Amino acid sequence: MAPIGPEPVGVLVLRAWIEGNHSDGLRVRILKLTDAESGGEPEQMAAATIEQACEIVRTWLVEFTARAAAVNDQ
């Protein structure tokens, strides 16, 4: 049968909230787990704007795909 894995798996979790219901009250806690297979404690980051959060997500995806490509090349 076809394997379910073992493609590289990463996990990015965003927990967002609005401080005081203000328009500039966005807070985002970001947990980054680049290698979900091997586990390990997630790295934590924070953002206060949509742009910051998107940039963190983008950077993570770039790093993740580069890492996955490196693993595939081995």
Partner 1 sequence: MALRQNAGPLEWVSGDAAGARAARPRVRLLGGFALTCGNASIALPLAARRVVAFLALLRRPLSRTYVAGSLWLDASESRSHASLRSCLWRLNRAGHPIVDAATDTLSLSTGVAVDVDDMVTRAGALLGHPGCDGAPELNHQVFLDDLLPDWYEDWVLVERERLRQLRLHALEALAERLLVMGRLSQAIEVAQAAVRAEPLRESAHRCLIQVYLSEGNASEACRQYAIYRALLARELGLEPSDKIKSLLPPSA
Please report, as ranges, the residues that interact with partner 1 according to CB under 8 A.
1-6, 9, 11, 13, 15, 17, 19-20, 22, 25, 27, 29, 31, 33, 36-37, 39-42, 46-48
Q: Which is nearer to partner 1, 25 or 61 (CB)?
A: 25
Whole-number minimum distance, CB 65 to partner 1, in Å?
18
- Return all residues near 69 (Cβ < 8 A) that are at least 6 apart: none
- Pair 26, 48: CB distance under 8 Å: yes
Dihedral of alpha carbons 43, 13, 62, 50, sign: negative
Whole-number minimum distance, CB 3 to partner 1, in Å?
5
